[in-house]
Amino acid sequence: MTGPSPIRLTLPLTPEAARALKVGDVVLLDGDAVATVGMPTQKRMVAEVEAGRELPLFLRNGTFFHMGVSYEDDGGRPGAVHYVNPTTSSRFNHLMPTLIRGLRLTATGGKGGLSQDSVDAMREVGCVYFSFVGGASALLSEGVEAVTDCAWRDLIMQFRLNRLRLSGFGPVIVAIDANGNSIYERLMSSARERLPEIMRSLRPSQNNETD
């Protein structure tokens, strides 16, 4: 038995299109996104946003992924794509609310979700979080047609701001929707509810070990 077919979407989304998505939706992505894995990069992005300056790659109302990109460096311009590799978004919890609000992002994505502060910002502006499957670099890379531009070349390649052209990128899952619903919060709530039962189940074996 197969599940529903993925929803095919073109980036960037409008806030209205983002709000129409629900937690658990499976999606394939076309269009443009900007990606980086760099902590220094995102600190620099926050500084630019807070100073009221535009980023060197236009990202307002756009899509921003926590994902590294490897490609040929063709005389200062991006060449053929080697691969992409998503990173853990929670590394950037302290930076993302500013980026989401300041850039009015309509989509972001990576691995592992974002904090409640980011979820609140996403609900305010109309932004979704796409979860990328860990260990699926080869599959995700097939959905990247090209790196069309890059900025901040003083940084290593995967730390630069890289603009990607996507075609059938995914499948990815809507893990946090623009209405504030989060797969991660549901999992944490379930774990908190089960924790007393789990602890009770462990006590007999712990007692036996000390007898």
With 60 as the cut, is the pLDDT of residue 187 above it? no
Span 96-116, average pLDDT: 97
Report the percent of the chain where pLDDT is more than 70. Answer: 85
First to last CA, the chain: 50
Kindly report, residue by residue over 57-83, the tens digit of the pLDDT. 999 999 999 999 999 987 778 999 999
| Cβ–Cβ under 8 Å, residues 115 and 90 | yes
**Dihedral sign of CA atoms 143, 146, 147, 148 in order:** negative
Span 37-56, average pLDDT: 97
Q: What integer pLDDT is reported at residue 77 of this predicted model?
A: 84
Strand segments, DSSP code E, in the chain are: 7-11, 26-36, 63-74, 77-86, 107-110, 128-131, 144-151, 161-176
Quickly count: other Cβ atoms within 10 Å of residue 139's Cβ: 13
Quickly count: other Cβ atoms within 10 Å of residue 51's Cβ: 7
Contacts of 171 (CB under 8 A, 6+ apart): 6, 26, 27, 28
**Phi and psi angles of residue 149, each rounded to the nearest 5 degrees, phi first:** -165, 160
Span 113-123, average pLDDT: 96
Using alpha carbons, select from 178, 185, 191, 188 the residue that is nearest to residue 25.
178
- pTM for this one? 0.87
Q: How confident is the model at residue 195 (pLDDT cuts 50, 70, 90)?
A: very low
Average of per-residue pLDDT values in the chain: 89
Q: What integer pLDDT is reported at residue 191 of this predicted model?
A: 41
Record the tokens describing residue 69, joined without a space: 């990109």
